[in-house]
Each structure stands twice: as structure tokens, then as C-alpha cells.
Chain A
């Protein structure tokens, strides 16, 4: 169990540029989540994948945001035409659905995005 890995750890970009983040979940975890955290707030849900299927998207996820999990393993989150309001920590988490539908999420260390 090597934990959830996120890349890059930090990203500084200019407004209007596109950025892409990668998440590698714990191997064999079939559930993958993206969250966003801003200063002084708790993580906010963005989207959820079960295997390769994106099953839920928050209304926080505008049309400029897209997430994929093409082979049911790693996932990417792309933000197009970044805005200063996109500056935040983007967290990825994974979990394995057990016999009961409750299992803690295991988080990566996040990607901190700064839009200048």
C-alpha cells in the first residue's frame, strides 16, 4: 500500500492557461474522488469515479473542469482557461467498497494550484 499519489505537488499558472493534475489511487481501490479545499474551509466534493465511470459531479465543477479515469486506475483533472478563483488545493482520494457501503477515504497530499 503506497498510498494515494498526486502530481504535481504545486502548480503556478497564469490566468487563462490550461492545467492538468494526475492522481494515482491506492492499487485495487475502485472508488476515486476529487475534492477542492480553499483556505479556512474543509474539502469540498467535486466528482466521483467508480472504476472508469464518472458517476457524480458537483455543481462546483463548471464546464471548464473535466475529469477522466480512462482505465479505471489513475485519474486526471483538467482545468481550462484558469481563473484566479480556481486557486486552491486539489485533493484526490480513493476507497474500496467493502461489504458495507462505508469505507474511509484515503487522501493524497494534494496539488496546490496558484493562478496569477
Chain B
């Protein structure tokens, strides 16, 4: 049962253009969402997060949008840079009860930004 899904295994974008990575979730208890970036041979690095009380959060070139009714979130990177090339993971957490901050991850999307 894949509770967090990233349906696009890969995405290729030209430098300077917008990258849009998508993520869907099924568990209605999830109320905290994060994006992580991962380079080969390194652990995932936290990028940006959003709480379910918001529908948008911005941090520099990175913006995360949350559509709770559709159980969908997206990460926008503008402008994209070659250094953004990495695997991007969407993750979700149910912050109430006994979740202990445990994250459930999607399968990842490989982003390639071409110069």
C-alpha cells in the first residue's frame, strides 16, 4: 500500500526554466509534508516543508503547493539550475497521536537540468 506516490520517475528540464515535481498521497491523516533532495552516495537533504494549514510555502527558488482536497502537492523550482539535478523525494507525516514524526516517502523523481 503506497501511501505517498510520485508517478513520474524522471523529469528533464532546460536550465532557467521551471521544474515541477508532483506527489499524491492517500492517507487523510497526513498533515505535514516535506521535500527532500538526494545526491548519489549521500543521504536525503531537507529542502522545504508545508503544514496542512497552508496551501503554499516559499523558500527562495523553491515553492511547495498543497491541494488538500485533491491530496496532491507539488514542488516548483524556478529558475532551474544544473546543480538541482538530483533525486527528489516527497514525504508525509501525521503529526498527531503516536506518529513520532515518522515520515512516509514516495519513490522519488530523478530531475535532470540541462545547461
Contacts and interface: CB of A to CB of B under 8 A. Distances in A.
Interface in A34-50: 40-45, 48, 50
B44 interface: yes
Contact of B51 (A6, A93, A102): A102
Interface string B20-47: 0000000000001010100001111110
Interface size band for B: 20 to 34
B43 A110 contact: yes
7 contacts: A31-B101, A42-B105, A48-B100, A91-B44, A102-B51, A106-B46, A107-B43
Contacts of B36: 107
B101 A56 contact: no
A44 B107 CA distance: 10
Contacts of B19: none
> Interface majority SS on B: helix, strand, loop or mixed?
loop
Interface of A: 4, 6, 31, 33, 40-45, 48, 50, 55-56, 91, 93, 95, 97, 100-110
B102 A45 contact: yes
Interface of B: 4, 6, 32, 34, 36, 41-46, 49, 51, 89, 91, 93, 95-96, 98-108
A42 B96 contact: no
Contacts of A56: 98, 100, 102
A31 B44 contact: no
Contacts of B34: 104
